[in-house]
Amino acid sequence: MNTFEKIKELKVKDVMDEKFVINGVKDTIIDVSRDITNLGASESIIVEGEGNVKGIVTLRDIVSAIGKGISPKEHIEIIMTKNVIVAYEDDPLEDALLKMAKYNISRLPVLNNKKEVIGVLGEKKLLKVIPALYELLQENLMEERQDISSQPSNEESITREGICENCEQYSEELINVDGKWLCKECYKEIYG
């Protein structure tokens, strides 16, 4: 299995942050703020009844609300973001990231198959994971370079997907020229 297949197999549950806060819609702004701060989280998932996700609120939302003169004793539901986009624990990470980009959001509550909140997929955790994904790509590239060095030179072949060694972009078709893997665009640019 190549690196891209490994990355594509990552699920939301593999990357989500399990440190999160849940509050009820009738909790006060000050209580939610305190809960978020005490746990060192960035947000609180707001639920009603048996864990039914009703909203999400961040510390930034709270600071903004108080700055606008909203009393910290008000219920959190008046400032929370409603119609929350969620991800499920077994969703492919790639799908969740596309959803975040599509809706221009920085965090997704993560639910299990019983629709219970079990985590949050957010920027903070993703920023910690992205370097590891990059390292995995680099390791794979080094292994492939070692394999290439054992091949005869002056061979050109379209044999695999990966990172172009010239432009460092992903390509589904790389051309091996003298042990160097190039995308079609770089091959045409260099060799005409």
What does DSSP say about strands 87-88 and 107-111: parallel, antiparallel, or unpaired?
A: parallel
Taking residues 54-70, what's their average pLDDT?
Answer: 95
The pair of three-digit structure tokens given for residue 44, joined into one six-digit string:
């609180």
Please report the pLDDT score of residue 47 as a whole number.
95
**In this predicted model, what pLDDT tens digit does every residue of 74-102 receive, in sequence order?**
999 999 999 999 999 999 988 888 888 88
Q: What is the pTM of this model?
A: 0.65
pLDDT for 135 beyond 60? yes
Sheet holding 107-111, edge to edge: 87-88, 107-111, 117-122
Residue 42 pLDDT > 50: yes
Using an 8 Å Cβ cutoff, are 103 and 85 in contact? Answer: yes
pLDDT of residue 61: 95
Please report which confidence band the pLDDT of residue 131 belongs to, taking 50, 70 and 90 as the band edges: low
The amino acid at 140 = N
176: Cα within 13 Å, side-chain hemisphere: 18
Q: When comparing pLDDT for 93 and 162, which is higher? A: 93
**Closest listed residue to residue 26, CA positions, set 72, 70, 77:** 77
User: Which of 14-18, 86-90, 105-109, 131-135 has the lowest average pLDDT?
Assistant: 131-135
